[in-house]
A and B are shown apart, each in its own frame.
Chain A
Amino acid sequence: MRKTVQQWLEEGIVDLFLGYRAVEGHPIPWVFRKDALHELEAFREGPYRYPLEKLAVEILREDPRVRLGLLARSCTERAVTVLQALHALDRERLILLQEPCCPSPLHRGVVCSSLAGPENGSQKRRDGIPRGRPLEELETWEADERFSRWMHELEKCLKCYGCRDVCPVCFCDQCTLQDPELFETGSLPAEAPHFHLVRAVHMAGRCVDCGLCEEACPVDIPLRTLYRKVGALVRDLYGYVPGHEPVPLLWGPLGDGELERLVAGERSREMVWEAVRRCSG
């Protein structure tokens, strides 16, 4: 892989390459360039994951001519596709160097170092939402218990905004989570569950299930599970999986009737088309 990066830089296929390099023992994101090829000696493929695509957006925006190579795990590729769909980056100037990695319900069959997270503690098992469990298993709890378990998790929130700041597909100039009419700034506890559900809704049609938010959460809220639920709803309702194709989700606003049927577990594409037809007609 190191040789490929060197070749890309030497042959001018890319002007810069964003990957990882060991600096003082820490593998960190690094921009490799042709005039400093010796830096490739400490090139790393991981094992730690950073939102490289988010850094790529900043680099491409700063220099409108630069061609950038990017070390891409599958989650990076999916995020790049979403960013392309939302016109947040110029895909023409970005060349991906694919790196095999992680399985998720949205993408199976490869291995990722970040999956071996911390063990669930006894309190989390008893009162909260244990991480890494499939949605079907969590949904076997009664609604009351599920609600109290989720609240146990969400009430820990420190409102650090780390989930948003680390998120590869969060790039809005104005963030609803900082709307003073919805959420009080500088006050704790966080407005659970609204704060988290607002973010969850905004993840619909965007979240690529990379799990960086959950890794960044200082209080171990199972955010990946929360957004997976949103992802499953969008998949079942619209047949849309973010990151598969560079087209955005055309969001058909749902009326009360549709929402009720949705909550009741009725998820048909017909229902959605009905809503879309009504909106466009």
Chain B
Amino acid sequence: MDYKLVPSVCPYCGTGCGILYKVLNDRITGVLPLKSHPVNEGKLCIKGWNAHAYVHHPLRLKAPLLKTEGRFHKVSWDRAIRTTADRLGDIREKHGPDAIGVLVSAKITNEENFLAQKFARTALGTNNIDHCARL
């Protein structure tokens, strides 16, 4: 039997609370607040306490889905990225770059957020970029 606690950061919002994933035989079974973490000092909100819930959830998306003729189909990453790029290109050409908005997230890293705004401003050519933590 393998049981360990793995320090991590809560994936839900931009606060960045320290959490401990309880991992039993390679499955995450729960979360404890990381007591020694300077941000949350051993406290969590309800989302942090349940930060493990989606990891092994049967409805979790594990591959990109493409909607064609009203139904979702599993496709490869290459195909998904190509389709997205083509569609964004079409929209940009037809309606201009400001027809596109980019919403980024506290669930991705600071660096990924930076890349997303760089992509919005330089590749797409729009300043329409916003973030859920801009409260």
Contacts and interface: CB of A to CB of B under 8 A. Distances in A.
A161 interface: yes
B45 A218 contact: yes
B73 interface: no
Interface string A211-226: 0000111100000000
Interface stretch (A27-35, A98-106, A195-203, A249-257): A27-35
A49 B44 CA distance: 15
A183 interface: no
B7 A28 contact: yes
A48 B43 CA distance: 13
Interface residues of B, number: 25
A55 B22 contact: yes
B6 to A, nearest CB: 8
Interface in B1-48: 1, 3-5, 7, 18, 20, 22, 24-25, 29, 32-37, 40, 42-46, 48
Nearest to B24: A62
Contacts of A237: none
Interface residues of A, number: 31
A59 interface: yes
Contacts of B24: 58, 62
A28 B44 contact: no
Contact of A24 (B7, B32, B42, B45): B7
Decide if the interface of chain A is mainly helix, strand, loop or mixed: mixed
Nearest to A220: B43
A160 B49 contact: yes
Contacts of B44: 160, 162, 216, 218
Contacts of A49: 35
Interface in A52-66: 55, 58-59, 62-63, 66
B43 A62 contact: no
A26 B36 contact: yes
A118 to B, nearest CB: 9
Contacts of B32: 29, 50-51, 166
A42 interface: no
A27 B36 contact: yes
Interface of A: 16, 23-31, 48-51, 55, 58-59, 62-63, 66, 158-162, 165-166, 215-218
23 contacts: A16-B1, A16-B3, A24-B7, A25-B36, A26-B36, A26-B37, A48-B36, A50-B35, A55-B3, A58-B24, A59-B3, A62-B1, A158-B45, A158-B46, A160-B44, A160-B48, A160-B49, A161-B46, A162-B43, A165-B49, A166-B32, A216-B43, A218-B43
List 4 A-B pairs, minimum CB-CB distance, nearest first. A48-B35, A218-B43, A160-B46, A26-B36
